[in-house]
Amino acid sequence: MVSGRMVRAAGILSVSTLISRILGLIREILFAGIFGANYVTDAFRVAYAIPYVLRRLLGEGAMSAYLVPVFTDIRAKEGDENAKIFAYTAYTTFSLVVFAIIAIGIAIAPLIVFVIAPGLKSNPEAFNLAVYLARLMLPYMFLMMTSAMSMGILNSYEHFFTPSLSPIVMNLAFIGAMLYLCPLLGGDISNQIVGLAYGVLIGGLLQVLVQVPAQFRFGIKFKPIFNFMHKGIKRMLLLMGPAMLVIGVVRINLLLDNIAASFLGEGVISILSYGERLLQFPLGIIGFAISTSSLPLLSRYFSDGKLDQMKRTLMEAFTLATVVCLPAMFGLFALGGPLVEVIFRHGAFTMGDAHATTSVLYAFSIGLFGFVGVQVLVPGFYAMHDTKTPVWGALSALATNGTLNFALMPFFGAFGIALATSISAYVNALVIAMLLRRRIGRLGFREFTKKALRIALASIVMAVLVWLAYHWLITIIGYGLIEKIVGVVVCTGLGVALFLALSKLLGITEVNDIISRLFGRSPD
């Protein structure tokens, strides 16, 4: 039985994340059509990676991992007012640290760009543009940290809706910048892309402002409190060190991918990024929504000493993720190529770019279940205020990815780089699952495996039928862009219907349970 409260919370986050991902796809469509895949887009991707890494380490889900367990514990044991004092103290401390990071980052931007994309040095125009854009976007880190702190506190009150708007307004700012700021700057694309850097800053400001009304409703008014010796800060810092590596492992792996890709020629960094962005669509909807909604419950059960309920909630979250993840993964195998053509094959984005992006998407899709598994299982450790143990999984993933990147790249190019990242995700998930079982005992993975095999069978059959249906439909209606859009939409709907029917046929009761609880009904 899947918890109704967790399903509904995950549902809220999933819907808002779905909207955000749709806007993100629109953003990427515009980006590909306007800028294509070249040294200018490579420079922007590299420059944006710098604040984006810090966003992974200090933003959204990351701040929840550091903040939510401590805030929830203080609130439960010492009251709401003391919890808020801790939050204000944490905000003051993090603000000072982030200001220092921004100042240092601006000063040594050329060194940072060289470290994360050494291959750009062979193209002075690309390298200098990346340095300039990085310096423009670094202040976004403060806005991101402020937004993430607010998001973590609101999530602790089990208020998920307003924080979930944050990525939506960020994508709207990106889109607005491309439609209005970039053309306003004029000139060639190397000049226009500067407008996107300003769009990042505007988006960060909107992310902060959109959460202010909800903050006031809960009596949250960020104010400076200089008490670096606060016991909550000490506890938070103890959580942070190891957790930063665990949470940042995906982004660090993608940085390793960029380092390798920078030696493969112009546009390859962008190709990897396009493929990764498509993967983020299901990954964000599934992994982020479920892990974010489960963490407050897990933290509360652990604080109350209800270990059995905590373990049950963790496996419910993992089951929920699997029911959604496996169909999405095999669905990408069936419709990945058409999706890339429909979304990106416009303007400056060539057919060669589309083929390269499709191969990268297939490689990343292989790892989707591994990526989601890590996102869902790691909060089990965070709820217990343990951020050290998951480091072993992160280190295993980094070692695997770094080794396989340079082993596979000479033979498979960008596909090999993406495949290395996917394999490392499964290594990470396996290590995390083993360590979690050792820490809190048997979780029920044997029973889960039986369910997962039925879900996988339904997903594979669905994917094969969808692939056949798409190619049959296209031969009838034609191969134009509109026809392909129709084909993708129709076959996606067909895939959902097929999976639901196959789930009923194979006795996958969790699907009906989740749908019933999502809409507030008792399951049949």
Segment 259-278 mean pLDDT: 82
Q: Does position 458 have pLDDT exceeding 90, yes or no?
A: yes
- pLDDT higher at 495 or 72: 495
Q: What is the per-residue pLDDT across 474-522, written as a single tens digit (0 to 9) for each? A: 999 988 878 888 999 999 999 999 999 998 888 877 777 666 555 444 4
CA dihedral 181, 276, 151, 391 (to 10 degrees): -140
pLDDT at 11: 58
Q: Does position 467 have pLDDT exceeding 80, yes or no?
A: yes
Contacts of the segment 303-310: beta carbons below 8 A, 24+ positions apart: 303/72, 303/73, 303/76, 303/77, 304/76, 307/440, 310/380, 310/383, 310/440
Band (pLDDT 50/70/90 cuts) for residue 39 is confident
Segment 91-108 mean pLDDT: 90
pLDDT at 242: 67
Would you call 410 exposed, middle or buried from its count of C-beta atoms within 10 A (0-12, 13-18, 19+)? exposed
Tell me how far apart the alpha carbons of residues 362 and 329 are, in angstroms, rounded to a whole number.
9
- pLDDT higher at 306 or 363: 363
pLDDT at 515: 62
Contacts of the segment 209-215: beta carbons below 8 A, 24+ positions apart: 210/162, 210/165, 210/166, 210/169, 211/147, 211/150, 211/151, 211/154, 211/162, 211/163, 211/165, 211/166, 213/162, 214/154, 214/159, 214/162, 214/163, 215/150, 215/153, 215/154
- pLDDT higher at 290 or 414: 414
- As a whole-number percent, the residues of the chain with pLDDT over 70 amount to 89
Sign of CA dihedral 332, 256, 350, 26: positive
pLDDT at 358: 92
**Highest mean predicted confidence (pLDDT) among 58-72, 227-241, 371-385, 391-405:** 391-405
Contacts of 480 (CB under 8 A, 6+ apart): none
Contacts of 72 (CB under 8 A, 6+ apart): 156, 296, 299, 300, 303
Provide the mean pLDDT of the chain. 83
- pLDDT higher at 348 or 340: 340
Segment 461-481 mean pLDDT: 92
Tell me how far apart the alpha carbons of residues 171 and 440 are, in angstroms, rounded to a whole number.
40
Band (pLDDT 50/70/90 cuts) for residue 8 is low
Segment 278-299 mean pLDDT: 74
pLDDT at 383: 81
Band (pLDDT 50/70/90 cuts) for residue 246 is low
- pLDDT higher at 257 or 285: 257
Asked which of 192-196, 245-249, 320-324 is least confident by mean pLDDT, the reply is 245-249
